[in-house]
Amino acid sequence: MSDFSVIGKSIAMVDAAGKTTGAGKYTDDLSLSGMLVGKILHSPYPHALIKRIDTSRARTLEGVVAVVTGEDAPNQYGILPVGHDETALAVGKVRYVGDNVACVAAVSEGIAEQALELIEVEYEPLPAYFDPEDSMKAEGDLIHENRPNNIEKDYHHVFGDPEKGFAEADYVAEARYIANEVTHAAMEPHCTLAAFEVDPHSGKQGRLTVWSSTQVPYYLQHKLSLVLELPMSQIRVIKPLVGGGFGGKSEIIPLEIIAAVAARAAKAPVKITYTREEVFWAHRGRPRTIIDLKTGVKNDGRVTSVACKVIQDGGAYCSYGVVTILYSGALLGALYDIPNIRYDGYRVLTNKPACGAMRGHGTVNVRFAFESQMDEIAATLGLDPAEMRRTNLLKPPTVTVNGLRVLSYGLPECIDHVITRSRWEERRGKLPKGRGLGVACSHYVSGAANSIIRSDMPHSTVNIKIDRDGGVVVYTGASEIGQGSDTMTAQVVAEVLGCSLSRVRVIAADTDLTPIDLGSYSSRVTFMAGNAALRAAEDVKKNIVSAAARRMNCAPEDVVMRDDSVFKRDAEPAEIDAISSEAEAARGHVDGQILRGSVLQTRKEEGAKEQLGFEEAVVAAIDVHGGLTGTGSYAPPVEARGGKHKGAGVGPSPAYSYSAQVAEVSVDEDTGEVTVHKIWAAHDCGRALNPVAVEGQVIGSVWMGLGQALQEEMVWKDGLLMNPGMLEYRSPSSVESPEVECVIVESIDPEGPFGAKEAGEGSLAATIPAISNAIYDAVGVRLREAPFTPERVLAALRAKRGLKKIDMTEGIDPTQPARLREHGGSLWFRGKGPERHPLDPARQGTSAGGAE
């Protein structure tokens, strides 16, 4: 008999049937009577003043109910309190191609689209900034007036003594790495449905209900309150099923506010669903990043010092930017033991869609640089790259030089597993020509120890209600987005209460019903909402146990609840079979229960019982205590909240997950095409509460990393996204997706729920460098610019062989990238850019002299 009866077993998600039958409802599947369709007018310019908007013609079109513009909701908001720089619709100025200008609410999509054509907007184009290094030099025409040099935020951190560390080093490696921009491309396009109720007392527009595909219902409620000037209590946010997030729904996306503004103006429910192209413009993905990295090591591979300068191309709004740039620096720590760190981070504004949080937030691109450089150093010093990583392991429990507390640390086992399974030692360097192996590691937070909105509130709260029917209803604000949040919650509660999973019903993410939870981001749900669920279950269990102890005439400490039975410790339960006790209950034979079976409640005193069924115990507890409810909440301990320096709030987490991976690739030296044959991925997630779900998260992370490594890239030309479609963005299909062998490592975390930690993001970051290192092993070229597309690989191979140069990479050497590859340059506004199509509005602006 294992120690647990519910957790640790692979089970289908509690909402799986709704997904496989099509019965589950996502936001776009909902409709209300009288509902209108909202369509948004987007900016064709990357940077322009709005001189005039005339919506009168659109308003007169039959079927149009309302047209709203920036003036209808001018209050600023943003996900971060320090970054309130967005408005629902542009006020006076647009900042990227795709920025939101106006919204039409009409009786049909067709009419709404027709009406958009009738809105007249007069723009005055401004110089636009597309390259962050150019943008940082800007003195005039700033993207936001209160951000000099278009720098959203810069941080300069020194931990330990980096100069001394470099002086002590036997070898110092230094290089620039570039990772291009990627986006979430969740399968479900963003969608929001907003409806106002009429207040019965004032007779006016009253409460607002918003259904939205969001990872953060509570933050949405908060920002709606700011923009609409409604008390939060008058706003209800409901999250139906969400078709994938990956961070793209972890902040307030413009349509979520616009739908509410339009519904207010139209006095009718409004639903807005983004087209796929609009999803790409909404973006909030992983920014293009320039990383200048310097690592000093001793001859045995021990790292003595790291200096890292990061420039992120953040796009036109702050979004999560300040957090992203801090994560990039903070998570240099907590993977390896690095005694000295210098970090300079610049989050820069450009006239492109805003970047935000994406799976592995802030860490992925820097990890690519770091793990690649480690591989280069190992090659130079003649060390085994896997061994070099073992040389630099942390010795937990510890606090890193930059203030991150590490308690559980499964990285050594992760490395061992992938090295053994890939037969690394016997195969590395001995594979046929063009084939190679590469290793890399990564880690990630199990939730941020400090919340975005600084306060003392708990990060997660869970309530439980149990009634005489023996049903356990769990209320949690945690947001199921496909990662298994609801299933995890049900498992934890069922395990604590010793009841079957089928008794547990999870009501999640409805701000009227469920207590505040910060949402699904930074891999916080299992650790934080899981701990809150555990505490809530223990809270309610107390009362059941005390009543059961009375009935069984024993001490409460001796009461065991397991497998739907309540019995005395050391006394094997007579009937452990949950199915038969359920059958018993189904026949109505539950002592004291009057809801089913016999209408007459018999109250016979029959003395102390040896054992109770779950329902009997519940009934007994309600008879003694009245209602049976429990509540639990979680806030990270003070010791885990990090140091005191400016920016110390980002990076600390109560626990970190660890990952090690080996990738096996082959490179076609004639075409530059890289094929990944297999990836071995070991992930330390603490206790695996649902192994099949953990594997799904790890494989999914590795796969998403593979996409960023090989083919996914947002291609920009003068601030215009050239590939805003699933086909052009080239998310890998089943044909391009290799086998991923997942190994779960369980370093039981002392503070996680049953020892569990993060599983959904940490593995992504290791995949990209594992593949680049494998490419080096295969063909001897070191690609320092991701993704490793055929033209980049081929350019590198040709250069290595001394062949005639063919410019396939627009002047950027992928082995020594000096700047971001700009498809067309950032000079169009000066009339020096590439020839544009005569009908392109940007060209019309410049050639007509409007821009200059």
Supply the DSSP string of 545-574, one letter for each residue: HHHHHHHHTS-GGGEEEETTEEEETTS--S
Nearer CB in complex with other proteins: 615/761:
761
3-state SS, one letter per residue, for 228-273: HCCCHHHEEEECCECCCCCCCCCCCCHHHHHHHHHHHHHCCCEEEE
Strand, coil or helix: 380: helix
Least distance to other proteins, CB of residue 519, Å: 16
Q: In whole angstroms, give the CA distance from residue 66 to residue 266.
A: 5
Least distance to other proteins, CB of residue 506, Å: 16
Nearer CB in complex with other proteins: 23/638:
23
Nearer CB in complex with other proteins: 483/526:
483
**Residue with structure tokens 């077993």?**
9
Q: In whole angstroms, give the CA distance from residue 251 to residue 497.
A: 35
Least distance to other proteins, CB of residue 701, Å: 8
**Residue with structure tokens 């250069």?**
799
Nearer CB in complex with other proteins: 16/806:
16
Supply the DSSP string of 692-727, one letter for each residue: HHHHHHHHHHHHHHHHHHHT----EETTEES--SHH
Supply the DSSP string of 25-49, one letter for each residue: -BGGG---TT-EEEEEEE-SSSSEE
Query: Is the preceding omega at residue 787 within 30 degrees of 0, hence cis?
Result: yes
Least distance to other proteins, CB of residue 154, Å: 33
Q: Starting at the earlier edge strand, list the strands of the sheet with 674-684.
A: 435-445, 656-667, 674-684, 739-745
Nearer CB in complex with other proteins: 674/702:
702
Beta-bridge partner residues of 473: 465, 505
Nearer CB in complex with other proteins: 441/706:
706
Nearer CB in complex with other proteins: 32/158:
32
Nearer CB in complex with other proteins: 602/733:
733
Least distance to other proteins, CB of residue 111, Å: 12
Residue 114 has a CB neighbour count (10 Å cut-off) of 18
Q: In whole angstroms, give the CA distance from residue 102 to residue 779.
A: 52
Least distance to other proteins, CB of residue 30, Å: 8
* Burial class of residue 231 (count of CB atoms within 10 Å of its CB; 0-12, 13-18, 19+): exposed
Asked whether the beta carbons of 191 and 212 are under 8 A apart, the reply is: yes
Q: Starting at the earlier edge strand, list the strands of the sheet with 472-476.
A: 504-508, 472-476, 460-466, 628-634
Least distance to other proteins, CB of residue 22, Å: 2
**Residue with structure tokens 């597993």?**
417
- C-alpha triplet 184, 186, 190: angle, nearest 5°: 105
Least distance to other proteins, CB of residue 725, Å: 5
Nearer CB in complex with other proteins: 707/817:
707
Least distance to other proteins, CB of residue 213, Å: 10
Nearest CA among 206, 220, 230 for reference residue 250: 220
Token reading at 104: 């039409």
Least distance to other proteins, CB of residue 17, Å: 6
Least distance to other proteins, CB of residue 88, Å: 24
Per DSSP (E only), the strands in 107-253 are 120-125, 151-159, 171-179, 191-198, 205-212, 235-238
Least distance to other proteins, CB of residue 730, Å: 10
Nearer CB in complex with other proteins: 278/375:
278
Asked whether the beta carbons of 414 and 605 are under 8 A apart, the reply is: no
Nearer CB in complex with other proteins: 341/764:
764
Asked whether the beta carbons of 341 and 159 are under 8 A apart, the reply is: yes
H-type alpha helices, 561-677: 578-586, 614-625
Nearer CB in complex with other proteins: 4/26:
26
Q: In whole angstroms, give the CA distance from residue 436 to residue 677.
A: 10
Nearer CB in complex with other proteins: 623/739:
739
Nearer CB in complex with other proteins: 170/728:
728
Least distance to other proteins, CB of residue 182, Å: 12
Nearer CB in complex with other proteins: 35/414:
35
Nearer CB in complex with other proteins: 27/581:
27
User: How many CA atoms lie less than 13 Å away from 173 in the CB half-sphere?
Assistant: 23
Least distance to other proteins, CB of residue 713, Å: 16
Over the range 365-403, which residues count as b (16 or more CB within 10 Å of their CB) and which as e?
bbbbbbbbbbbbbbbebebbbbebbebbebebeebbbbb
Least distance to other proteins, CB of residue 26, Å: 7
Least distance to other proteins, CB of residue 484, Å: 8
Asked whether the beta carbons of 771 and 709 are under 8 A apart, the reply is: yes
Applying CB under 8 A, the residues found at the interface with other proteins are 10, 12-13, 15-26, 28-29, 31, 184-189, 241-246, 273, 275-277, 481-484, 692-693, 695-696, 699-700, 702-704, 706, 725-727, 731, 733-735, 737, 739-740
Strand, coil or helix: 741: strand
Query: Is the preceding omega at residue 814 within 30 degrees of 0, hence cis?
Result: no
Q: In whole angstroms, give the CA distance from residue 114 to residue 64.
A: 10
Q: In whole angstroms, give the CA distance from residue 50 to residue 141.
A: 14
Nearer CB in complex with other proteins: 477/696:
696
Least distance to other proteins, CB of residue 608, Å: 42
Token reading at 30: 């909902």
